[in-house]
Structure 1
Amino acid sequence: MASALTNTEFVFPSQKSVYHGKVRDVYNINDEKLVMVATDRISAFDVILPEGIPFKGQVLNQIAAKFLDATADICPNWKLATPDPMVTVGVMCKGFPIEMIVRGYLCGSSWRAYKSGVREICGVKLPEGMRENQKFPEPIITPTTKAELGLHDEDISKEEILAKGLATLEEYAVLEKYALALFKRGTEIAEKRGLILVDTKYEFGTYNGEIYLMDEIHTPDSSRYFYKDGYEERFAKGEPQKQLSKEFVREWLMSNGFQGKEGQKVPEMTPEIVNSISERYLELYENIIGEKLEKSSDSDLLARIENNVNAYLKK
């Protein structure tokens, strides 16, 4: 099995700090640029799982880079370059402490809430009589707070965001406009690949007084995709949809008694499980991008990344 990169502790030129997130290590270069390393760590239910997934970081980084380029006409984004298959370098933005979740279909956590009787999510009223995996009349935005590591993101409404001063009315209007336009573009690109973009999250910040798209976009860690072929038939029969997302990891964990709650133990991640998750990430890349991933399976990932980033920063 290929090696997985689960931890980095680089010291780059002009580095001021490093932030280790759930799956990314973010290096602050002189308060001007960010070097974002997409590691092979994987998280679910806001818990970092004990085993890394080979090629996952490369898949996430390269999908995000391609979608950042494909949506740059909609709104400015933070990306400057991808000097390594697992690294994106971009401008340093001041992030909004919220995530803009756009949902086109009722599934995942929103379905679980709906099934329990909830009819309003983040201030958005949901129609009666909906079924799992049903398309909403129009995509809805259900924001969450952006929690610190180890804490859970919390649902929040537009009204609460404004009341708490997390964004101004004018800023929120731009966030909403950008999020829906990005989702529309992502939906169109997915459709060309025979996929349905079900839901996704976007993060935004400000740079030089402008609102910028940050972080990843339309990756399997931030999005859920269904296969278009067979969707209607499976929906009519009430069968589970064939999907490309991280939901299968959550479902495997739930079936083994883990939902991130206190006292629960992560089930053993055997080499077979790790390999199957890796294959699913490669499958999504090939489907959404339309080409096979050129696997960068260097034996020393750390040395390669350090050399590539240093060469870029010295330019």
Structure 2
Amino acid sequence: MNQAIKETAFQFPGQTGFYKGKVRDVYHFPELLVVIASDRISAFDVVLPKPIPYKGQVLNQIAAKFLAATADIVPNWVLDVPHPQVTIGKKCEPFKVEMVIRGYLAGHAAREYKAGKRSICGVSLPEGLKENDPLPFPIITPTTKASEGHDEDISKEDILAKGIVSADDYAVLEQYTHALFQKGTEMAKQKGLILVDTKYEFGKFGEEILLIDEIHTPDSSRYFYADGYEARQEKGEPQKQLSKEFVRQWLIANDFQGKEGQRIPEIPQEFVEEISDRYIELFEKITGDRFTKNTSNHLSEDIEKAVNEYLTKLNQP
């Protein structure tokens, strides 16, 4: 296993700021962002104590592939991927909402439905649905973008009423979200998968709306295996899925859902390795590519060198 990156603390020439997200370390420059995908893992909006080897590489490389594959549909922020765990792109002003889109009743939506709710983020749901059933059509259920703590469900109406996003911009976000989900669904189907739900984030670079962050990764998306899906639904069996839902289920089974007063359970090394293997499985399944582990024992030094080389090249006349 490689030397997993839990956090970074670089000082790059020209750097103007630093932000540590749940998973990513973001280095700010006047018009650039250098985003390092760490090996941290979060669940229930809490960062778990142990890093997961190769997770950052998996996320960064899946995102790079899908951002490139959707660039003709939606313009995005990426300028270069100089290292398996690094993306450099345009520094956008992010919208303070995440555009969650769901094609199936799963995860958070299923838990809300089971609790008796028939409306999520202002979107009505029909009676008689079972967990993991397809929805009549994909629905957008936005959340607020919390800088720390929990993201909160919010309706389109509240977003517009509170002026979080203008009506004109929100119409573009909706259009882009549906187009991306359709493309992601088609690409998943080609690999024998069902894209169940996912989230997209957007920002503005000048007046242009760009897709930012990652897309269609196991941190931002849920996938079911298409083979056997209908039979499992008919029998009321859990779906075979590729996402980090299995991490959430393990935490729930160990009495943790990120609620006040709950302690994060100790994660055994065997489970850390299982998480790593599951992330690699998803990479290979969803991309169709073989995953090549970056086995360097000098990840931090390699990342720093790759970023510095990019910055040097950028500043050459």
3-state SS, counterpart of residue 272 of structure 1: helix
Which residue number corresponds to residue 78 of structure 1? Answer: 77
* Pick aligned residue for 2:205 from 182, 199, 207: 207
Q: Distance in 2 between the 1:245 and 1:110 partners?
A: 15
Answer yes or no: is the 8 Å Cα contact 2:2–2:294 preserved in 1: no
Quote how far apart the aligned CAs of 1:15 are. Answer: 0.2
Matching residue's letter, 2:12: F
Match of 1:50, SS state, is coil
Structure 1 distance, partners of 2:12, 2:4, is 22
Structure 1 residue 158 and structure 2 residue 156: aligned?
yes
SS in 1 for 2:154: coil
Deviation at 1:297, TM superposition (A): 1.5
Extract structure 1 runs of 4+ deviating beyond 3 A.
none
Residues in 1 aligned to 2:165 and 2:257: alpha-carbon distance in whole angstroms: 31
- In 2, Cα distance between equivalents of 1:297 and 1:157: 44
Amino acid across the alignment from 1:105: Y
Give the secondary structure class of the aligned counterpart of 1:15. coil
Runs of 5+ unmatched residues, structure 1: none
> After the TM superposition, which residues 257-268 of structure 1 pair with which residues of structure 2 at under 5 Å, given as runs?
257-268=255-266
The aligned runs of 1:52-201 (5 Å cut-off) are: 52-149=51-148, 151-201=149-199
Equivalenced residues, count = 313
Instruction: State the alpha-carbon separation in 2 of the partners of residues 51 and 152 from structure 1.
Output: 20
Partner of 2:234: 236
Q: Structure 1 stretch 258-267 or stretch 49-58: which is displaced more?
A: 258-267
CA distance in 1, matches of 2:281, 2:298: 24
- The whole-number CA distance in structure 2 between the counterparts of 1:74 and 1:200 is 17
Letter in 1 for 2:67: L
Alpha-carbon shift at residue 269 of structure 1 (Å): 1.1
1:20 matched to 2:20: yes
C-alpha distance in 2, partners of 1:197/1:111? 16
Q: 1:3 deviation in Å?
A: 2.0
CA distance in 1: counterparts of 2:114 and 2:5, whole angstroms: 38
- Describe the SS at the equivalent of 1:314: helix
Give the deviation of 1:7 after TM superposition.
0.8
Under a length normalisation based on structure 2, what TM-score does the superposition of the two structures give? 0.98
CA RMSD of superposed structures (Å) = 0.6
Q: Once the 2 structures are TM-superposed, how far is the Cα of residue 294 of structure 1 from its aligned partner?
A: 1.1
Amino acid at match of 1:18: F
Q: Is the 8 A contact 2:22 2:47 kept in 1?
A: yes
Shift of 1:271: 1.0
> Given residue 242 of structure 1, which amino acid in structure 2 is its aligned partner?
K
Mapped to 2, the partners of 1:56 and 1:256 lie a distance apart of: 22
Residues 133 and 233 in structure 2, CA contact (< 8 A), matched pair in contact too: yes
User: Residues of 2 paired with 1:110 and 1:207: CA distance?
Assistant: 32
Deviation at 1:208, TM superposition (A): 1.9
Find the residue that maps to 1:202 and give its secondary structure: strand
Q: Report the counterpart of residue 8 of structure 1 in structure 2.
A: 8
Q: Distance in 2 between matches of 1:169 and 1:270?
A: 48
Identity of aligned residues (%): 63
Shift of 1:2: 2.8
Q: TM-score under structure 1 normalisation? A: 0.98
CA deviation profile, 1:251-308 (whole Å, cap 9, x unmatched): 0000010001111111111110100000000000000011221111110110000001
